[in-house]
Structure 1
Amino acid sequence: MFRLLFGRLIFVNAINSGGLVMRSCLRYIFISLMVTGAFLITGCNSGQSDIHADAAGAETGHEGHSHAPGEHGQAVSAGAGETEISNWCTEHSVPESECTKCNPALEAKFRASGNWCEGHGVPESHCRLCNPGIKFPQEEILITQEPEFSGNGIEISLNFRPNAAVCATNDALIQFASAVTAERAGIKVQAVQSAHYESAINAPAEIVFDETGVTVIASTVQALVSRWLISAGDVVYKGDKLAILNSPEIAQLKSSLVAMHARYEVERKELERHQYMNERDLISRAELDRQESAAEQARAEYIGTRGMLLSAGLSESDIDEVIKFGGLSNQFIMRSPSDGLVVERIARLGELIDAGKVFAIVADPRSMWIEARLTEEQIKDVRIGDQLTFSSDGNGIDRIGGEIIWVSRFLDTHTRMGTVRAKVIDPDHALHAGEFGRAKILHATDRVVSLVPKDAVQWEGCCNVVFIKETQDRYRPRKVQLLDGDGPYYQVTDGLRPGEEVVVDGAFLLKTELKKSSIGAGCCGLDPVG
């Protein structure tokens, strides 16, 4: 961290007390420089800070967690009792002392008490998919608690904090010694952009396979699995061998196939002779018609038997081999009807499978669905074509997204919730079916809002502010109302106008000097400006 020393810092504030009263307080800071210049940069003892931070993390026992110890917060009064914010796992959004993800040994305790959701692998009292209304006391406190700051002055923000009703530094003036000083301090600005406001809907979601790419494999005959040739998780292609099955019905069908093929060949050759004789008027047209009918009937029976073997699981090449070599064993090979990933082997080795019973499932892993469950009020605002992003419970940083392709037109009779579905193309197979997380659905409206880079927004102590450029050496903090944004931008609903320039690089340094210089604001008689 670098410390910027200003030539002077001017606060200009005004209040409406029967008229506009302008008061200013000038504070002169005398700078002693080792060399001639307008500023001095001194390095902070960052190495020592890192060492102390590592030691503190080790003492609190947060090894293996992706969240920092400071994210748990501190103990806060909660009405009749004391609820410790430190007893909160921000990674999984449950109390730390009850988190089965961080402490798997707790699972047995919840199972023994009957408090366990088998479908989602968490305690029933923690399952937000089955019980969307779950809210822990810590969540209420995290939303309403006062802002906290770490030892180095960097704010710890778990949620957007509401701005104070009045802000003592709103529209205060920060004056550099010169434009050159501001440039050397690394101050860079960017123009405010405008866009249509996107309302955000947050809901629990799950990754599932695209049902249009899921193939359920079954046989139309009763069969016994004598040997599996693949395992769950294997990638297979159309025609690959899946398993060796045995079935008495297959032997009968093979026998019928050979017989039907032989009869068809006889009738076909007989038809050729009848056609030859009819051309020379050696037989009547009626005799030719009868032979054509017989040949067509034999062909239909042969094709029907061949189709029964295909539906049972044999391939065209397998059937041709039966006809060519006359193999009449009751053993046959089940092949994959499509490309994909073997999701599940349902049948067990040696198990007799009834006709039509599923024994394996193959799915295309390149196309996945994100299914989000929305409340009755939320689903009314969602439209096909809206954008949806998903972050898993285990990794809230990486997000994937897609376009909503389906919105349920009915609600679950028990939960009163509906489902929306987005399609995601995943050529790298990075997604996992059954993965739970949170979905955010962005719905565009006609309302226009301003967009600012997230690096430009600073928490000043009572408000979210950005620093507006007036001239090359003059900047003012401006209180803004924020909404969540997509990517590197926040949506600003109040406080900015399109075309204004905000500080992007160096905003934290300006905030640091603003907070230092505002410590004595009351002594200087500064009046807050709302």
Structure 2
Amino acid sequence: MNVPRALAQKKKYLIWIIVVTAAVIALNKTLLAPPRVKTVAIQKRDLVSQVYGNGTVEAKVVVGISSKITGRIAELYADQGDRVKKGELLARLENEDLLHQQQQSEAGLNRSAAGLVAEQANLQKAKANLALAEKNARRFRSLAAKEMVSRLESEQYDTAFLLAREEVSRSQASIEAIKMEQRANRANLGYARSKVNDALIYAPQDGVIITRDLEKGATLTAGMSIFTLADPAAVWVKANVDESQLKGVTVGKKAAILLRSAPGEQFPGQVARLGQQSDRVTEELEVDVAFTPPLESFRLGEQSEVYITTGMKKNAPALPSLSIVTRDKKRGVWTVAGGRLAFKAVTTGIEDRGNFTEIVQGLDPSDQVVVATPQEMGRFRQGMKVRSGR
């Protein structure tokens, strides 16, 4: 018997046995090994519950500035983006014809005033003549009664008295007519002045010019908008919030506002108004969130996001939101005990924007909870073997 050859053959078999055993061990520890999962324990955290909404920046008060009269724009003194004060001159229309009408009305009023002075002087003269005529008529009636003068002469003085009295009445009526003319002239002058003033366009309130709709030289009709003015103190985000998230959203709640033009920056705000009618298609409600303090610079229509704070808790037991799943219509988590998975139903509370959720009940502080992607958790089964690690 060839001993060396037998030993070599035995050695070869031993090597194959070792290789197969190593391969089996490797498979058990790799491909055939239970999956490795990451586990965490409940931690105390400060949580803030926030409701999300998106919308656009809008102004509560938007005023169209227009003219009361038809005319041509002579000058414009403001442009979009300008901040203006109430009563500030914004535009002027051509007003030469209106000024001429005003001057004519002023001349008519001055003429009637002069006529009134002259007629008042005539009235004083007529009253003096009346007094003299009355004395003469009385005296000559007395003389005629004594036959010291003829009756004809006495009657002539009586007639002069009647004429003097009629002259007084005429002067008084003339004065009343002039006064009526003055009232009409004053009304005409007021109307002419108002037309001249209507050619000057003033800011009706403090605000920011959002648009300038016409340019110098343009002809406009009454009511046609020249500027659009917005009140910066009443600028807010008209956000759309899902109906299912509205619990706890009330007027006065604090909020954080994010603008597309300022990535990474948050602006403080608060809920100013809640809509009373939801969109029947999107099932969302309009929530107006005001900036506090008001923005110095803003763009109406800018895309925005809001996070409305509806609750806060300090040192609340919490888990990463990724660890919470819904199974058989129950919210819960997968725990690891003795190398096997077990599903535990939990009661949750505040869900923080930082992806942490409050655990109200259902877990012990010592429980090891699995954190995995939804796809991985979809493959989990009750009692499934796993390898845990932090």
TM-score by length of 2: 0.50
Shift, 1:429, TM fit: 0.9
SS at match of 1:295: helix
SS at match of 1:343: strand
The answer to which structure, 1 or 2, has the higher relative contact order (CA under 8 A, 6+ apart) is 2
Shift, 1:245, TM fit: 4.3
Paired with 1:303 and 1:349, the residues of 2 have a C-alpha distance of 28
Aligned residues of 2:257 and 2:305 also touching (Cα < 8 A): yes
User: Within the alignment, does 1:313 sit opposite 2:179 as a pair?
Assistant: no
Q: Residue deviations 1:409-464, cap 9 Å, x none?
A: 334576564423233354661443322121223446xxxx73249xx97869968x
Shift, 1:346, TM fit: 1.4
SS at match of 1:231: coil
Aligned residues of 1:481 and 1:495 also touching (Cα < 8 A): yes
Which residue does 2:52 correspond to in 1? 202
Paired with 1:375 and 1:461, the residues of 2 have a C-alpha distance of 22
Q: Residue deviations 1:362-389, cap 9 Å, x none?
A: 3343441221123455568644333343
Aligned residues of 1:406 and 1:420 also touching (Cα < 8 A): yes
Corresponding letter in the other structure for 1:306:
R
Paired with 2:296 and 2:220, the residues of 1 have a C-alpha distance of 32
Which residue does 1:220 correspond to in 2? 68
Corresponding letter in the other structure for 2:185:
A
Shift, 1:290, TM fit: 5.0
Alignment of 1:95-244 (within 5 A): 169=41, 200-211=50-61, 214-225=62-73, 228-238=76-86, 240-243=88-91
Aligned residues of 1:452 and 1:491 also touching (Cα < 8 A): no
Corresponding letter in the other structure for 1:202:
Y
Corresponding letter in the other structure for 1:297:
A
Which residue does 1:372 correspond to in 2? 239
Paired with 2:296 and 2:219, the residues of 1 have a C-alpha distance of 34
Paired with 1:438 and 1:354, the residues of 2 have a C-alpha distance of 40
Paired with 2:320 and 2:280, the residues of 1 have a C-alpha distance of 44
Which residue does 1:304 correspond to in 2? 191
Which 10-residue stretch deviates more, 406-415 or 253-262?
406-415
Which residue does 1:345 correspond to in 2? 212
- From the CA coordinates, give the structure whose radius of gyration is larger: 2
Corresponding letter in the other structure for 1:305:
A
Corresponding letter in the other structure for 1:218:
S
SS at match of 2:241: strand
Corresponding letter in the other structure for 1:494:
V
Percent identity over paired residues: 18
Aligned residues of 2:56 and 2:238 also touching (Cα < 8 A): yes
Q: Residue deviations 1:451-497, cap 9 Å, x none?
A: 249xx97869968xxxxxxxxxxxxxxx99563459x998845269x
> Which structure carries more helix by proportion?
2
Gaps of 5+ in 2: 1-36, 128-167, 325-345, 363-387
Aligned residues of 2:320 and 2:356 also touching (Cα < 8 A): no
Aligned residues of 1:383 and 1:404 also touching (Cα < 8 A): yes
Structure 2 vs 1, CA of residues 348 and 495 (structure 1 numbering), >3 Å: closer, same or farther? same
Alignment of 1:347-366 (within 5 A): 347-366=214-233
Aligned residues of 1:482 and 1:490 also touching (Cα < 8 A): no
Shift, 1:278, TM fit: 9.1
Paired with 2:279 and 2:78, the residues of 1 have a C-alpha distance of 38
Aligned residues of 1:209 and 1:367 also touching (Cα < 8 A): yes
Aligned residues of 2:322 and 2:355 also touching (Cα < 8 A): no
Which residue does 1:32 correspond to in 2? none
Corresponding letter in the other structure for 2:105:
M
Shift, 1:296, TM fit: 2.8
Which residue does 1:437 correspond to in 2? 304
